[in-house]
Structure 1
Amino acid sequence: MDTNASWPTVPTPANVTSFNNATVKPFSVFDGCESLVEGILFDLTLQSINVLVGIPANILVIAILICNRKQPSTSDIYLGSLAFMDAYFGSMTPVSFLNLYHWQSKEVWTAIKFSYGVKDTSGPLFLSCICLDRFIAVLFPLTFGQLKHIKYRLSLSVLVFCLTFAYSAAKVVGGLPNFEKVFTGEILATFTWMIVCNACILWTLKKSSGAGKDDMHPMKRKAFKIVLSILCIIVFTYLLPVALFPFEDYYAPDVFRCYVQPVGFAFLNISSTIQPLVYLSRLDKVPFLSESCVKKWCRFVAPEKDKNQPGQNQST
């Protein structure tokens, strides 16, 4: 089975009939799942949210990072790359809809498959890079001070881009034996690393505060909240596919393809919206937007944010 970061899984094949007469079945997003459409509709709904909310949010994150380039944090290059990839993936969703219902072009489907490969790989790897950056900063501050130069993060980002494009190209080519196991192994490895990494960071920050989180230094408390929010995102978006995908052989093929796979990938896809919104909610002030607009769309932000010192830089 060709594993994608979204539905559909494969283009509609030719339906060979008797007497060697072949007729092509019209391309349909519900191909093979006409009576099991709930999971697919759920995934398509979340993809629509990525278009309406995720693309503008990711573009705003990129603009903010560019404006703050004179005082960047060490993770900005990872955040910017992740936002760019998420915006690219979201922009392919309307193309996917048009191809499913209007164009039905093989060439366009190839481009869509490539974007699925980008989403499969770039999100987990860049989040792992962010976790690694904070892990070293908190647990090995002396080593972190020696590795602050941008060349290290730029090199790691180039490596992630190369791995992402190699995986996406392999997905487009198709036909590789057990290729779907690559994604399963990747998601299991990155999920385990991010959970362990963030748990160690939280434990170290809490331990260094003595009595508890309320007695932390303001900057440590802020770092604690940031890492905790990242941990929540990781669990929410990755736990379901990590828990279900390794057990593909235990499901009926139609159930896995029409329910388990689209629902699991839907949670991965919605991270393209959740990640930039969480970043924007942590800012003391969002550039380009009025205070009333920020309050309207970010009411879930903790009240403690107003108590932050106005001169604090956003540590991401």
Structure 2
Amino acid sequence: MSSWRMNTTAWDNTTTKAFSVFDGCDSQVEGILFDLTLQCINVAVGIPANILVIAILARNRKDPSTSDIYLGSLAFMDAYFGSMTPISFLNLYHWQSKEVWSALKFSYGVKDTSGPLFLSCICLDRFVAVVFPLAFGRLNGLKQRLALTVLVFGLTFAYSAAKTVGGLPDFEKVFTGEILATFTWMVVCNASILWALKKSSGVGKDEMHPMKRKAFKIVLSILCIIVVNYLPPVALFPFEDYYSPDVFRCYVQPVGFAFLNISSTIQPLVYLSRLEKVPFLPDEWVRKCCPCAAEVKAKTKPGSNGSDQKRA
């Protein structure tokens, strides 16, 4: 999703400029390598974490939460995006193929769109559940969520196909508009959920019902992730005209996208850290990898209902 992968016409007009996998940043590769370095974390940590999330959701399919279809789709898309990172390195320094570049642009389009849209769906689901519980009870079915998932997949593939074809004027502004809209929605949505939970708790947060307090912490953690991963591109991209074209394409965009790309690792780790017990993994591994989460879980009362606490 870095600048070198954004919509380019460099190789569409072969009479004026030779094809370059760096998209004109051949001598200014620092921003691109920074983005790819963070993407390596997605390969080492993000792919296994997302596969584990998918396995857990499949294991719990008989007792699913309302957001599982969105979580599973998001984990699948993030795992697919992470798997393309080694191909990116090979194409940059070995193959330098236009065909591979087109496949990579499609995967970047998938990440551009699927992450913000599926997170927005999760925020919508939780917003309705907390703020409009009666309406949530009437709409608490798979049909509506499946239709929304199909719509997101359709928008994702349409955007990715357009990015792959290239040559569309001001195409990068589509992503800027999308990220601004989804970021605003997610912040407002999660802030409303936090306010509703806080207001319903009475005098202070310490007096909340245990499940509301847990929901409060979950939504707060998601809000922090949204700000960390999405605020950099939201803060930088609308000011494209203030940068020179080379600086924006080779430095500003790769750095902004790097924060968004690492969400492919952060999102599944946050989900796994909220589980009462992580299936398929020994408890010793969990304690070593996430001692803070293990300490919190150790304090959980024996009589608590694990099925209610296992996921958001």
TM-score range, shorter chain: over 0.9
Name the structure 1 match of 2:56.
Answer: 64
Q: More displaced, 95-104 or 216-225?
A: 95-104
- Report % sequence identity: 76
Name the structure 2 match of 1:248.
Answer: 240
- In 2, the alpha carbon distance for the partners of 1:6 and 1:258 equals 6
* Residues 32 and 38 of structure 1, relative CA distance in 2, 3 Å threshold: closer
1:3-62 C-alpha deviation (Å, 9 max, x unpaired): x4564444864999xxx9x8947x45484352x443222211101101111000000000
- In 1, the alpha carbon distance for the partners of 2:120 and 2:294 equals 25
1:311 aligns with 2:306: yes
1:143 aligns with 2:144: no
1:32 aligns with 2:25: yes
1:100-153 C-alpha deviation (Å, 9 max, x unpaired): 111222111111100010000000000000000000000000000011111110
Name the structure 2 match of 1:275.
Answer: 267
- In 1, the alpha carbon distance for the partners of 2:25 and 2:244 equals 13
Find the residue that maps to 1:301 and give its secondary structure: helix
Name the structure 2 match of 1:127.
Answer: 119
Structure 1: gaps (5+ residues): none
- In 1, the alpha carbon distance for the partners of 2:90 and 2:252 equals 25
Query: Where do residues 12-51 of structure 1 align in structure 2 (5 Å cutoff)?
Result: 13=11, 24=18, 27=20, 29=22, 31-34=24-27, 36-51=28-43
Query: Where do residues 67-216 of structure 1 align in structure 2 (5 Å cutoff)?
Result: 67-216=59-208
Q: Do the aligned partners of 2:116 and 2:182 also contact (CA within 8 Å) in 1?
A: yes
Q: Do the aligned partners of 2:4 and 2:23 also contact (CA within 8 Å) in 1?
A: no
Q: Do the aligned partners of 1:43 and 1:262 also contact (CA within 8 Å) in 2?
A: yes
Between Structure 1 and Structure 2, how many residues are aligned?
307
- In 1, the alpha carbon distance for the partners of 2:103 and 2:21 equals 18
Q: More displaced, 95-104 or 261-270?
A: 95-104
Amino acid across the alignment from 1:80: G
Find the residue that maps to 2:293 and give its secondary structure: coil
- In 1, the alpha carbon distance for the partners of 2:17 and 2:180 equals 41
- In 2, the alpha carbon distance for the partners of 1:132 and 1:15 equals 43
1:44-103 C-alpha deviation (Å, 9 max, x unpaired): 110110111100000000000000001100000000000000000001111111111112
- In 2, the alpha carbon distance for the partners of 1:218 and 1:103 equals 55
- In 2, the alpha carbon distance for the partners of 1:302 and 1:194 equals 29
- In 2, the alpha carbon distance for the partners of 1:23 and 1:220 equals 59
- In 2, the alpha carbon distance for the partners of 1:118 and 1:311 equals 35
Structure 2: gaps (5+ residues): none
- Aligned-CA RMSD value: 2.1
- In 2, the alpha carbon distance for the partners of 1:90 and 1:230 equals 21
* Residues 239 and 162 of structure 1, relative CA distance in 2, 3 Å threshold: same
Q: Do the aligned partners of 2:5 and 2:105 also contact (CA within 8 Å) in 1?
A: no
- In 1, the alpha carbon distance for the partners of 2:275 and 2:187 equals 24
TM-score, L = length of structure 2: 0.92
Amino acid across the alignment from 2:69: I
Q: More displaced, 176-185 or 47-56?
A: 176-185
- In 1, the alpha carbon distance for the partners of 2:260 and 2:212 equals 29
* Residues 218 and 89 of structure 1, relative CA distance in 2, 3 Å threshold: same
Amino acid across the alignment from 1:55: I
